[in-house]
Amino acid sequence: MDKLIEFTVPVYKTDPELLTRCIKSILDAVDRADIRDLFQLVIVNDCSPNWESQFKAIQSLVTDKGGEIGENILIANHNVNKGLGESRNTGLRYSKAKWVWFVDSDDTLPEFGTNPIIAYLKSGDADKFDIIRCNTDRVDKDGNHSPMYFNTDKCTEVSARDCITDSILYPAASWTKIFKVDSIKKSGIKFPKGFFIEDQVFTLRYLLTNPKIKLFPTSVYEYHEVSDSTMMMDWDVRHLIDVYKYTHFSTRILKDYNLYGDNSRTRELLATLDRYNDSYEKLSTEDKYKLNDLISEFKSNFLDYLNL
């Protein structure tokens, strides 16, 4: 592994302007940290229907930055749409770096803030850990910033068990962490295919391998709110069966490890079930029958699901 860090950016239907904003923020961070020879950017085209305009925007930006698509900046193309989870798995397969950072194509790295985390990744101390959990800013449609998740001014180690029960300390979103590539590969844990809440399943399964986790207090990522996000909409049958699988899988795991109870991860699960029930009631009678059939099939193969 000859690179320090790989940025994986899955792309599907993203507005070319937002995609350019994302890629530019990554390349700017690379330049500020002076790691042009130590980074890798893998852009995964998940069979995006507007890929031609997206690729032109990427190519123009890279050229303007004095680079070229090749060794350090790679395009991985899916022949069919495989979903966000499999796109991240593709990024991992291409990785030649020690660390991987999953960046959503409509989000950004901040103009200031990435230098400290990259400097830390270069340090010997970072090598002792499997995950660096970073602070994040939420950016609303008006460009206003607000902090998300944990509040600490110290770099500190936390246990995987504490992270399992505390969804604020350790949220599911993959872009809130930087992962050691070898540790993920050795664990055998992958993002589930075709699953719209793939982060939640990956997070819980990977935490069960007991990785070493370091909190890094600097805000190094900007999550941009979008009103048409899947998490903001009513869920249809395809979404609801995934939610049902995830909540039952997670509940089973938490109970098996005596972690189900008065903690934020359990409360998050219960809130998700409330959303599920609200969306279920809005389904047509036909769709309710479809969902119930899928649930029956899932229940009959539950043990297989636990070993995703």
CATH number of the domain that residue 82 is part of: 3.90.550.10
Residue 55: pLDDT over 70: yes
Residue 247 lies in a domain: yes
- Among 192, 224, 256, the domain boundary falls at 224
Number of structural domains (the chain) is 2
φ, ψ dihedrals at 271, nearest 5°: -65, -40
pTM higher than 0.85 for the full model?
yes
Q: Does 149 lie in the same domain as 55? A: yes
Q: Does 82 lie in the same domain as 42? A: yes
- The set of residues, in sequence order, having a beta carbon less than 8 Å from that of 24 and lying 6+ positions away, is 61, 65
Q: Give the position of tokens 């690179």.
A: 3
Q: Does 104 lie in the same domain as 150? A: yes
Q: Does 217 lie in the same domain as 241? A: no
Give residue 302's pLDDT: 59
Cα 81 from chain centroid (whole Å): 18
- Quick one: three-class SS letters along 238-281? HHHHHHHHHHHHHHHHHHHCCCCCCCHHHHHHHHHHHHHHHHHH
- Among 202, 224, 246, the domain boundary falls at 224
Q: Does 194 lie in the same domain as 73? A: yes
Question: For residue 267, what are the domain limits?
Answer: 234-306
Q: What is the rounded CA–CA span in Å between residue 188 and residue 54?
A: 32
Burial of 49 (0-12, 13-18, 19+ CB in 10 A): exposed
Q: What pLDDT band is residue 12 in, cutting at 50, 70 and 90?
A: very high
Which pLDDT tens digit goes with each residue over 125-156?
Answer: 999 999 999 989 999 988 898 888 766 667 88
Residue 171 lies in a domain: yes
- Among 167, 193, 224, the domain boundary falls at 224
Q: What is the rounded CA–CA span in Å between residue 254 and residue 273?
A: 15
- The set of residues, in sequence order, having a beta carbon less than 8 Å from that of 306 and lying 6+ positions away, is 249, 252, 253
Question: Contact at 8 Å (CB) between 219 and 139?
Answer: no
